[in-house]
């Protein structure tokens, strides 16, 4: 058993991480400022309400507690917003990470799993992206994550910090049976927006670009289930027991699906067509982003369970169809009462 501090554990991926660790016998503590996370999603372990931008709050969080490792999910993560507000992104994602690392050093915590992103790569130079692909981020979000990875490499040399950076491609899916899923007030991800359109909880889906050099002209992305991401983080904890230094792994299924393929799969799951409109390309959207996760499979022993698109979408569909009352997708209380009265 390990004592793990999950920074950002009230958010989408962090809450699934907490569930995984608790289910596998570890002790969990969550630290979150609740700016985008949800108090009700913290169902495993103690919640410390604190902000990485506040060193004094971090000192209080670490004081009197012993952690074997930290998992760091806290970040602002909207690409477009990062372009409009680069200072905010560098402040939060870079300075916040540095504050966390300093608190860990002061309290003798020597292992970190860092939530990174495929955005560190920028425009792909190859059909499938492995860890040797050049890192050339094209937006402040990706650049801020790459800066944090550099911190970890320098900390390994200077202080002996052991770290694993996990570069996600497209996290998706949910665990509705555990009451957790993707609950963003401002949703930018494709699969939840497709499902919200199907349920009438959002506007018709906008498909940005239909003239890419792909199978059907729409962008292609690699989708990995959030539970498989949690498994990879847990394996990273074991990896660091035996490996010094700073390491990075790409996480994806190794298969790409186009926007139109996602829409078709979602329509089959929902049993209804998805209302959508075509729109021009968005600046900075690569035609295709697909991961090679060979390194993670070989060195971490990672074996994703959710390898097909339809089950990933189906898990998300169940979450968005029947969200808990704390989710942004839940109906107002008066509408919820009407819905309850209509149940047979």
Residues classed as catalytic? 141
**Do residues 50 and 31 lie in contact, with contact meaning Cβ atoms separated by under 8 Å?**
yes
Q: How many Å from the N-terminal Cα to the C-terminal Cα in the chain?
A: 46
**Do residues 162 and 111 lie in contact, with contact meaning Cβ atoms separated by under 8 Å?**
yes
**Do residues 250 and 161 lie in contact, with contact meaning Cβ atoms separated by under 8 Å?**
no
How long is the chain? 344
Matching residue, tokens 């059909």: 127
Strand partners, 225: 172
Strand partners, 31: 7, 48
**Do residues 61 and 41 lie in contact, with contact meaning Cβ atoms separated by under 8 Å?**
no
Cα 262 to Cα 6, 9, 219, 258, 271: the distances in Å are 31, 28, 11, 6, 14
**Do residues 84 and 283 lie in contact, with contact meaning Cβ atoms separated by under 8 Å?**
no
Nearest to 48 by CA among 66, 64, 62, 27: 62
Write out the two tokens for 105: 């050093």
Cα 96 to Cα 50, 59, 73, 103: the distances in Å are 12, 13, 11, 11
Write out the two tokens for 224: 């990995």
DSSP string, 212-228: SSSSSSS-EE-EEEHHH
**Do residues 76 and 89 lie in contact, with contact meaning Cβ atoms separated by under 8 Å?**
yes
Give Cβ neighbours of residue 31 (< 8 Å, ≥ 6 apart): 5, 6, 7, 8, 9, 47, 48, 50, 61, 74
């Amino acid at each position: 058993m390990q004592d793990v501090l999950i920074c950002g554990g009230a958010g989408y991926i962090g809450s699934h991480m907490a569930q995984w660790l608790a289910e596998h016998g570890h002790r969990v503590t969550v630290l979150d400022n609740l700016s985008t996370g949800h108090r009700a999603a913290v169902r495993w372990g103690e919640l410390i309400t604190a902000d990485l931008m506040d060193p004094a709050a971090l000192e209080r969080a670490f004081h009197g507690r012993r952690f074997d490792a930290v998992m760091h999910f806290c970040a602002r993560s909207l690409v477009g917003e990062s372009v409009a507000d680069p200072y905010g992104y560098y402040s939060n994602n870079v300075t916040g990470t540095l504050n966390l690392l300093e608190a860990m050093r002061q309290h003798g915590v020597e292992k970190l799993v860092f939530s990174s992103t495929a955005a560190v790569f920028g425009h792909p130079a190859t059909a499938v992206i492995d860890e040797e692909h050049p890192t050339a981020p094209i937006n402040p979000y990706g650049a801020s994550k790459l800066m944090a990875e550099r911190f970890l490499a320098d900390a390994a040399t200077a202080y002996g910090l052991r770290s694993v950076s996990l570069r996600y491609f497209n996290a998706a899916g949910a665990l509705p049976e555990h009451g957790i899923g993707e609950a963003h007030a401002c949703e930018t991800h494709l699969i939840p927006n497709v499902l919200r359109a199907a349920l009438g909880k959002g506007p018709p889906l906008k498909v940005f670009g239909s003239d890419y050099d792909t199978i059907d002209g729409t962008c292609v992305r690699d989708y990995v289930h959030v539970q498989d991401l949690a498994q990879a983080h847990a394996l990273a904890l074991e990896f660091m027991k035996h490996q010094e230094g700073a390491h990075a792994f790409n996480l994806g299924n190794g298969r790409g699906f186009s926007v139109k393929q996602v829409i078709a799969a979602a329509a089959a799951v929902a049993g209804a067509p998805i209302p959508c409109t075509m729109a021009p390309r968005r600046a900075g959207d690569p035609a295709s982003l697909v991961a090679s996760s060979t390194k993670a499979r070989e060195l971490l022993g990672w074996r994703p369970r959710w390898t097909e698109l339809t089950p990933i979408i189906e898990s998300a569909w169940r979450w968005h169809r029947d969200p808990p009352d704390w989710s942004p997708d839940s109906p107002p209380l008066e509408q919820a009462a009407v819905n309850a009265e209509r149940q047979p």
